């Protein structure tokens, strides 16, 4: 009896000791890592920030959708192509020097926030709408908007719809969308306000939604306008004409990258990745001519790592944005490569540069 008692006490003591020591150990190792990687930098954060973790790991873990046409589409070899996937590569090139050092994680709308909250992915670029509740309640921080979108509905012309149809024409319809999205909330709110009676079916995966719509089990689908345009371009059944309405979207859907909460250094990196891509577009710096323009004076030179550059004080290497734009391209190149083929253009939309009357604007790099 006594022997058993003493063994138990020793086990408990060991457990308590192990738990108590954990905190001290991790802070020591991560402080050492930050010191070695932030050469010359003095604003490197002590403790385990995401930048330190990514640099130590050598790979950027990026959360994307996998089923968002033109934004992130899953490829057979496990990678992703699309506008959001390209931004993952842009950030990987900036932080790690190699745009292919990305590990894509394909997340449903239900899983994405938990993945960011718990740090399972370093950054989430998954056409996520920036809303007040997500910024505060859910525990994430938003980088600047890369695509200004709006929610619309798609139905068949054969059922009596046209581009000028209104939400009130959906009376009695079965509308399908993604579960756990702002889309769901918006359509519910709007139909309650207008007194329109619809049956809302919400699915985990948008591919499932489209299958139901094509089979006729759903009368209409709703999601961001860009998603609808993409699906119409790739999946419209021969002989049918799918119309997208209303002409003016029913909600604002500013889409952009998302990071975990309270990591200012990492959020700054995400922010200035987006801003640098926009500034490169404003100055006409492309993947082809970036290397040649590295010695220029002014904003372009600073962004490309010349005199007065600010990348090192952020914890990155001086040529971070140079690597990113040479390997992936600027905002316009990424947009043209991915979104123009499905029929989305920048001209006349909110995604044109501010110089052309749109909303794509970046603060100065000074």
Q: If binding is defined by CB under 8 A, does position 179 make contact with other proteins?
A: yes
> What does DSSP say about strands 60-64 and 102-106: parallel, antiparallel, or unpaired?
parallel
Nearer to other proteins, 201 or 236 (CB): 201
User: Residue 316 class from Cβ within 10 Å (0-12 exposed, 13-18 middle, 19+ buried)?
Assistant: buried
Q: Are 95 and 54 in contact (CB under 8 A)?
A: yes
CA–CA distance, 290 with 300 (Å, rounded to integer): 9
Residues 271-302 as b or e (16 or more Cβ within 10 Å = b): bbbbbbbbbbbbeebbbeebeebbeeeebbbb
Tokens for 184, please give them. 């769901």
Helix residue ranges per DSSP H, the chain: 2-37, 50-57, 83-96, 112-118, 132-136, 182-194, 206-215, 225-235, 264-283, 299-303, 320-327, 331-338
Residue numbers 117-146 binding other proteins by CB under 8 A: 117-119, 133-134, 137-139
Q: If binding is defined by CB under 8 A, does position 17 make contact with other proteins?
A: no
| 56-280-39 Cα angle (round to 5) | 30
Nearer to other proteins, 87 or 161 (CB): 161
Residue numbers 273-332 binding other proteins by CB under 8 A: none
Q: Are 30 and 55 in contact (CB under 8 A)?
A: no
CB of 189 to other proteins, least distance (A): 6
CB of 210 to other proteins, least distance (A): 12
| Residue selected from 56, 97, 185, 283 as contacting other proteins according to rule CB under 8 A | 185
CB of 123 to other proteins, least distance (A): 15
Q: Is 289 left (phi over 0), alpha (psi -120 to 50) or beta?
A: alpha
What's the distance, Cα to Cα, between the start and end of the chain in Å? 74
Nearer to other proteins, 130 or 280 (CB): 130
Site string for other proteins, 194-213 (x = CB under 8 A): ---xxxxxxxx---x--xx-
Dihedral sign (CA 329, 332, 336, 339): positive
Binding residue count for other proteins, defined by CB under 8 A: 60
| Residue selected from 188, 235, 251, 287 as contacting other proteins according to rule CB under 8 A | 188
Q: If binding is defined by CB under 8 A, does position 110 make contact with other proteins?
A: yes
Q: If binding is defined by CB under 8 A, does position 173 make contact with other proteins?
A: yes
Give, as one character, the DSSP assignment of residue 240.
-
Q: If binding is defined by CB under 8 A, does position 255 make contact with other proteins?
A: no
| Residue selected from 76, 132, 215, 239 as contacting other proteins according to rule CB under 8 A | 215
Nearer to other proteins, 118 or 289 (CB): 118
Nearer to other proteins, 26 or 313 (CB): 26
Nearer to other proteins, 37 or 208 (CB): 208
What is the binding site for other proteins (CB under 8 A)? 1-2, 4-5, 8-9, 12, 15-16, 19, 109-110, 113-114, 117-119, 133-134, 137-139, 159-161, 169-174, 176, 179-181, 184-185, 187-189, 191-192, 197-204, 208, 211-212, 215-217, 219, 260-262
């Amino acid at each position: 009896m006594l022997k058993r008692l003493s063994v138990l006490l020793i086990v408990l003591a060991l457990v308590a000791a192990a738990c108590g020591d954990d905190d001290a150990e991790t802070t020591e190792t991560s402080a050492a890592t930050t010191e070695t990687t932030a050469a010359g930098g003095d604003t490197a954060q002590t403790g385990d920030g995401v930048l330190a973790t990514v640099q130590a790991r050598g790979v950027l873990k990026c959360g994307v959708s996998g089923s968002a046409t033109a934004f992130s589409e899953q490829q057979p070899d496990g990678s992703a192509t699309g506008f959001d996937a390209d931004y993952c590569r842009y950030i990987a090139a900036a932080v790690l020097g190699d745009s292919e050092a990305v590990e894509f994680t394909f997340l449903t709308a239900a899983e994405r926030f938990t993945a960011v909250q718990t740090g399972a992915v370093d950054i989430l670029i998954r056409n996520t709408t920036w809303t007040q509740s997500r910024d505060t309640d859910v525990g994430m921080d938003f980088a600047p908007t890369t695509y200004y979108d709006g929610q619309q509905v798609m139905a068949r012309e054969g059922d009596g719809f046209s581009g000028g149809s209104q939400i009130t024409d959906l009376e009695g319809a079965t509308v399908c969308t993604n579960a756990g999205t702002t889309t769901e909330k918006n359509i519910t709110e709007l139909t309650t306000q207008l007194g329109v009676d619809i049956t809302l079916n919400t699915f985990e995966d948008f591919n499932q939604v489209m299958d139901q719509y094509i089979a006729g089990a759903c009368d209409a689908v709703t999601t961001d306008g860009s998603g609808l345009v993409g699906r119409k371009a790739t999946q419209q059944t021969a002989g049918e004409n799918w119309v997208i309405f209303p002409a003016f979207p029913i909600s604002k859907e500013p889409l952009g990258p998302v990071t975990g909460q309270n990591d200012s250094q990492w959020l700054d990196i995400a922010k200035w990745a987006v801003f640098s891509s926009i500034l490169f577009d404003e100055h006409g710096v492309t993947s082809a001519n970036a290397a040649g323009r590295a010695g220029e004076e002014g904003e372009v030179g600073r962004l490309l790592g010349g005199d007065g550059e600010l990348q090192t004080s952020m914890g990155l290497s001086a040529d971070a944005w140079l690597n990113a734009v040479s390997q992936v391209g600027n905002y316009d190149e990424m947009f043209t490569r991915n979104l123009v083929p499905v029929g989305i253009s920048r001209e006349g939309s909110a995604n044109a540069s501010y110089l052309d009357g749109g909303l794509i604007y970046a603060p100065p790099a000074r």
